[in-house]
Each structure stands twice: as C-alpha cells, then as structure tokens.
Amino acid sequence: MLIRRPPDIRESEVTDERLYVNRRQFIGRAASIGAGLGLVSAAPSLLSCAERGDAAGDASGAAAQDELTPYEDVTGYNNFYEFGTGKEDPARNAHTLQTRPWTVEVEGECNKPGVYDIEDILSRYPAEERIYRLRCVEAWSMVIPWLGFPLSDFLNDLEPTSAARFVEFTTLYDPEQMPGQRRNVLDWPYVEGLRMDEAMHPLAIFVVGLYGKELPNQNGAPLRLVVPWKYGFKSIKSIVRIRFMRRQPMNTWAVTAPNEYGFYANVNPEVDHPRWSQARERRIGEFRKRRTLMFNGYAEQVAHLYKDMDLRKYF
C-alpha cells in the first residue's frame, strides 16, 4: 500500500500539537479554510475522522514517525526565486502575488485541452479529505503535512493520449507580481516535467494547502506540485500551464546548469552534486546532519519506476 488512509493513522501523526491544541480547534480552522478555498463538505469529513480519534486524511508511511517541521519554518524558509534568491525573500516579497482569478491552461497530447479555473479544480477534487505527511528535500529537509490530491486524479480526467510520454508544468510569468523575475537569474518562466509514469504515481500530488491552512504565496499558491522522492526544485510552484508531450521537456535547472541538475532529480545519496556531497542532509531545526535516504525514504514505493536505469547517468 502506497498511502495509508483512515482509520490507519493516529491523529498525532499529522497534527502538530503546537499549532492545534485539540481536535475541535483543528476542525474549526480547517472547515473555515475549506470554505474559503471553495472546497466541498469540509466539516463533515474532518469531523468523522476526528470523532474516531484518527487523522483527517492520507499520510505516507515513510514519514509517519518523523517530527513535523514547524509551520513558521515551512512558510518562512523557502526557495522560490521568482520572489528572490534569499531563503527569507519569498515570505517577505510574495504578498504581491494575486492568486484570484487563476487559471491553468492544458494543452498537448490529450483529449481535453482547455483553460481550467482554479475554483473548478478545487471543487472537483476536494482536498480537505487528504492530508499527506511527506518528507521534502532541497539543501535542507522538512516534513510537511500537505493538503492536496493525487496529480493522477487531475491528469486522468484530461484523457492523455497514448502519445503522451511526459508532462510539462509551467509557473506564472509576471515580473510585476514576481519581482525576482526582473533579474536574469533563470530563464523565465520556470518549467518542470515528469515522465508519465512518475506523474501517475500516487505520491505525486497537487497541493493547495498545508497545516490545514490555505497554501501561502511563498509556498506556491494557489496550486503547486509535490514529488517527495525528488529534490525540491522538481516540485514546481504557482502552476499556470500543463502540457502533455511526446518528448522530454527541457526543465529550467537542467537548462541553466546541466552538469549539476538533471531531469530526474531523484534523491540519491550515492550521486554527489559537483560542488557538495548529497550523502547527508540537514533537517530544519536539527544541528547534526542525518543520512540521506535513497529516494528520500520512498524507495519501496518508487524504485520500480527506475528499474535497469543508470541513475548516475540519469540524475
């Protein structure tokens, strides 16, 4: 089983006691956020879980025993170059982003191309029922209770054709709203991609919130990708376009520094970055580094996707 569901998860595995004093408080906050996001029937689904003493949603067993990263660190220490290259820049500058109205354009090898409104997406895929507790790794690591839904749910409804072998994602390009785009740090707009079997994996999720709250701008509002077995730069933020493709897309970091960043970006402690070792990682809030796990601890779930691949060549 790839993702555990209620009633298999204890409440303590998802809810940080420092933020949510009790289940009733959590229900109230999450219900109000659900209403603000245009989600359907938030309160009943959360209440039914809480009354049983269970967590409200899904979680991955790989991170079930890890301590959650505090909300302040999750939202205050980010890589989002569209708002600046410093780790505190996104939290300081992302207030300029307007997330409503918002649309996602779909094109390429699928039967249902078009422009999809974020409100329609949120109402069709009710994320309030699914909380994913997942590890995320960049130059540091965090454990975050994401609020979202499987990417595959959305992609399947778009009916990709047999010619679709990859899916490409693009971030909003608007230098007025995203001041970091006024500098030539990267080739804007930011682009990422996945192989179709990766995109259809249950652990690849579209995220609309965290910690029971609406997704903050600095974390990729209103819609971002999270692929927990890959390094953080694969989890593209503030998505405005999805394209089904026959050929592998040119993702931004692989274009910018191809000797340092590949297309796959799987967490692999056996393959060093040219300028540093990736064998150990520093968890936010911890002084000592810890051993980096293959595929970020999700090897049992995802290793089959890369059977017989040379992961030093396809890094």
Instruction: Specify burial of residue 170 (Cβ count, 10 A radius: 0-12, 13-18, 19+).
Output: buried
237 is in an annotated binding site: yes
224 is in an annotated binding site: yes
Cis? peptide before 101, omega within 30° of 0: yes
Cα-flanking dihedrals φ and ψ of residue 129, to 5°?
Answer: -90, -5
82 is in an annotated binding site: yes
CATH dotted code for 67-306: 3.90.420.10
96 is in an annotated binding site: no
10 is in an annotated binding site: no
User: How confident is the model at residue 61, as a pLDDT?
Assistant: 56
Residue with tokens 């809030």: 285
pLDDT tens track, the chain, 315 positions: 233 333 343 444 444 434 333 333 333 444 433 333 333 222 222 222 222 223 333 445 556 678 999 999 999 999 999 999 999 999 999 999 999 999 999 999 999 999 999 999 999 998 866 789 888 988 789 999 999 999 999 999 999 999 999 999 999 999 999 999 999 999 999 999 999 999 999 999 999 999 999 999 999 999 999 999 999 999 999 999 999 999 999 999 999 999 999 999 999 999 999 999 999 999 999 999 999 999 999 999 999 999 999 999 999
136 is in an annotated binding site: yes
**Closest of 6, 29, 24 to residue 210, by C-alpha:** 29
81 is in an annotated binding site: yes
156 is in an annotated binding site: no
174 vs 66: CA distance, rounded Å: 37
Between vectors from CA 254 to CA 251 and to CA 258, what angle results, nearest 5°?
160
What does the DSSP assignment read for 156-200?
Answer: HHT-B-TT--EEEEEE---TTT-GGGGSTTS-SSPEEEEEHHHHT
Domain range list for the chain: 67-306
